[in-house]
A and B are shown apart, each in its own frame.
Chain A
Amino acid sequence: MNREEIIALLKPIVITYAPPSAALDHINEESDFITDLKINSANLVDIVLDVEEKFDITIDNQSMEKMLTVKAAIDVISDKLNEK
Chain B
Amino acid sequence: MEHRVVITGMGVVAPNAIGLNDFIDAIKNGVSGIEFDQQLADLQFSCQIAAKPKLKEEQISTCFSPLELRNFNSTGILYGVIAGMEAWADAGLAINGSNEPNWDYGTIFGACTSGIAKFHESIYKIDEQNVKKLGSTVVAQTMNSGISAYLGGKLGLGNQVSTNSSACCTGTESLILAFERVKYGHAVIMLAGSTSDSGPYVWGGFDAMKVCTYKHNESPKHGSRPMSNTASGFVPGSGAGAFVVESLTHALARGAKIYAEILGGNVNSGGQRGTGTMTAPSPIAVQKCIQNALTNAQIDANEVDVINGHLTATAMDALEIDNWAKALNRKGENFPLINSLKGMVGHCLAASGSIECVAAVLQIKHNFIFPNVNCEDLNPAITDLINENKIPQQMVSKQINTLVKASFGFGDINACIVFKKYHKS
Contact = CB atoms under 8 A, between A and B. Distances in A.
Interface of A: 16-17, 42-43, 45-46, 49
A46 B138 CA distance: 11
B56 interface: no
B104 to A, nearest CB: 27
Interface in B117-175: 132-133, 135-136
Chief secondary structure at chain B's binding surface: helix
A59 to B, nearest CB: 9
Contacts of A43: 67, 136
Interface centre among B66, B133, B136 (most CB of A within 10 A): B136
B423 interface: no
Contacts of A45: 135-136
* In the complex, the 9 A-B pairs of residues with the closest C-beta atoms, listed nearest first: A42-B136, A45-B136, A46-B136, A46-B135, A43-B136, A49-B135, A49-B133, A17-B67, A16-B67
Interface residues of B, number: 7
Contacts of B135: 45-46, 49
Interface of B: 66-67, 70, 132-133, 135-136
B244 to A, nearest CB: 29
A45 B137 CA distance: 10
A17 to B, nearest CB: 6
Nearest to A17: B67
15 contacts: A16-B66, A16-B67, A16-B70, A17-B67, A42-B136, A43-B67, A43-B136, A45-B135, A45-B136, A46-B70, A46-B135, A46-B136, A49-B132, A49-B133, A49-B135
Contacts of B67: 16-17, 43
A42 B140 CA distance: 11
Contacts of B133: 49
A51 B135 CA distance: 12
A43 B136 CA distance: 6
Contacts of B136: 42-43, 45-46
